[in-house]
Amino acid sequence: MPDGLSDSPTESDFLVKKRIRFSRPSPALAIACIALFVAMGGVSYGVATGSIDSREIKDGSIRNKDFKAGTLRGKDAKPDSFGGKAIKESTLEAPRWALINAAGAIEKQTGGFTAVDCYRTNANCYIDAGENVTNNGVFAEINASNTAGSRLNGETGTAPCGLVSVNCVPPGTETPNIIVVAPRNSDGSATTASNRFRFYVYVTGSENK
């Protein structure tokens, strides 16, 4: 070894090693590293955890076919976010109805109703709804008006025939397609030819649209 040189560490060597060994990254370096991590891996992390928001979806890019049937509920929609144009009218379950006149004939209807026996056998009106109505809603109401001679009072009772609790008298009416309507005066007495009134009969939850 050349003269004047020593293989023993000097005090300056010790200070340099100590400085390197215990030095810490500056705050600026730490922030730069975090920013780099977010820039390189932040999007991938968001996709992996399902945290995609509306900013990452192009308008009009999601269609009805992209949703699994039954996955969207009413709670998923923002209140008042659907206007009338967003609803297809053919998908709405509007009730079916028929208007029966005082003579027991169908005057108007949405379709599928047939008068079977109105006031011939008894004071009731039996109407074929064209479908099984035992699991549907059925009801009737008086068609009141304020013209001269019109009825402004009265009541009706309605039920599907073919049930254990309902006895439909005319032959062939003990079937689940038949609705019996019992028009009555306000005191509960049966109506007659001189005081019968027009009424509507309705079927809700119908399969015949």
pLDDT digit string (tens) for 6-39? Answer: 555 665 555 555 555 555 667 777 777 777 776 6
Q: Are 123 and 188 in contact (CB under 8 A)?
A: no
Q: Are 189 and 78 in contact (CB under 8 A)?
A: no
**The predicted structure's pLDDT at residue 154:** 87
What does pLDDT average to over the chain? 80
The model's confidence at residue 188, banded by pLDDT at 50, 70 and 90, is: very high
The Cα diameter of the chain in Å comes to: 143
What does the pLDDT look like over 59-84, one tens digit per residue? 767 777 777 776 777 677 777 777 66
Q: Are 70 and 85 in contact (CB under 8 A)?
A: no
The model's confidence at residue 178, banded by pLDDT at 50, 70 and 90, is: very high
